């Protein structure tokens, strides 16, 4: 699995970018929110990615922030939602807005996403509301253009806990519990240590 791509921006347009990594150009499909954050051609760029493999295609999707990728992956878990629709959602709304609309049950706003009808919007709300309520990141970090120290150490801790064998939901629950009980924590190491004890 390709987790991120880092190199020079060789080409960009609102739906895709080509990143030159040591003389190899990686074509990455992106939402417009990521396009807006890309540097000029030739500039250094790092995108977190989702490596999508099907029988007939291998596609790399790229994102400027972990929040964008998280929302993309969550949407892929919804029955009937594929990568193109998930990408369209992130092009239409920022991650924080998608999360808010789902938590509020606002299916009318979700139907403004190209390709999303009323039934699909309702299915997205039903299948993702609980997952968004349980996420470890707060509203202030969703959709931010830069990784704050707090958002970054939370995501690092989540990744480490999953690598250590915890399920995604168990890792999220442990992180939320530790941060509620210890709001002074500011490092991934301390968060991981306490989460493993809980």
Q: pLDDT value at position 5?
A: 94
Q: What is the mean pLDDT of the chain?
A: 84
Note the CATH architecture for domain 66-133.
Orthogonal Bundle (1.10)
With a CB cutoff of 8 Å and minimum separation 6, the contacts of 166 are 174
Pick the residue with more confidence: 140 or 17? 17
Query: May I ask the CATH class of domain 4-63?
Result: mainly beta
> What is the mean predicted confidence (pLDDT) over 132-144?
53
Please tell me whether residue 80 adopts helix, strand or coil conformation. coil
Pick the residue with more confidence: 128 or 146? 128
> What is the mean predicted confidence (pLDDT) over 60-74?
93
Could you tell me where in the chain the CATH 1.10.8 domains are found?
A: 149-197
Fold of 149-197: Helicase, Ruva Protein; domain 3 (1.10.8)
Q: pLDDT value at position 68?
A: 92
* Helices 95-104, 66-76: crossing angle, 10 deg rounding: 40
Q: Per-residue b/e over 187-198, b at no fewer than 16 CB within 10 Å?
A: ebeebbebbeee
């Amino acid at each position: 699995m390709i987790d991120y791509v880092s190199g020079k921006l060789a080409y960009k347009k609102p739906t895709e970018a080509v990143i030159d990594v040591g003389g190899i150009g990686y074509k990455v499909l992106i939402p417009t929110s990521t396009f807006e954050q890309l540097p000029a051609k030739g500039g250094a760029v790092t995108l977190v990615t989702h490596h999508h493999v099907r029988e007939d295609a291998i596609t790399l999707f790229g994102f400027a922030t972990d929040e964008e990728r998280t929302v993309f992956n969550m949407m892929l878990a919804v029955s009937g939602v594929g990568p193109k629709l998930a990408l369209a959602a992130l092009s239409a709304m920022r991650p924080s807005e998608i999360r808010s609309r789902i938590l509020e049950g606002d299916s009318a706003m979700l139907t403004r996403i190209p390709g999303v009808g009323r039934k699909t919007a309702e299915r997205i709300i039903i299948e993702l509301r609980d997952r968004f309520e349980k996420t470890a990141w707060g509203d202030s970090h969703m959709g931010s253009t830069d990784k704050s120290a707090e958002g970054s150490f939370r995501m690092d801790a989540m990744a480490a806990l999953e690598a250590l064998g915890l399920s995604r939901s168990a890792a999220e629950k442990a992180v939320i519990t530790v941060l509620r009980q210890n709001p002074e924590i500011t490092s991934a190491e301390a968060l991981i240590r306490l989460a493993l004890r809980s």
